Amino acid sequence: DAGVIQSPRHEVTEMGQEVTLRCKPISGHDYLFWYRQTMMRGLELLIYFNNNVPIDDSGMPEDRFSAKMPNASFSTLKIQPSEPRDSAVYFCASSSSSRVGGYTFGSGTRLTVV
From the number of C-beta atoms within 10 Å of its C-beta (0-12, 13-18, 19+), residue 2 rates as exposed
Q: Which phi and psi angles does 84 have, rounded to 5°?
A: -55, -35
Among 4, 19, 26, 88, the residue binding another protein under the rule CB under 8 A is 4
Kindly tell me which of 74 and 103 has the beta carbon lying closer to another protein. 103
49 binds another protein (CB under 8 A): no
Q: Which amino acid is at 99?
A: R
33 binds another protein (CB under 8 A): yes
Q: Which phi and psi angles does 86 have, rounded to 5°?
A: -80, -5
99 binds another protein (CB under 8 A): yes
Per-residue DSSP letters for 25-44?
Answer: --TT--EEEEEEEETTTEEE
Strand-strand pairing, 109-113 and 10-13? parallel
Q: Find the shortest distance in angstroms from Cβ 84 to another protein.
A: 22
Per CB under 8 A, the segment of 20-28, 38-46, 66-74, 79-87 that binds another protein is 38-46
Per CB under 8 A, the segment of 13-21, 43-51, 70-78, 80-88 that binds another protein is 43-51
Residues forming the site for another protein (CB under 8 A): 4, 33, 35, 42-43, 45, 48, 56, 91, 93, 99-108
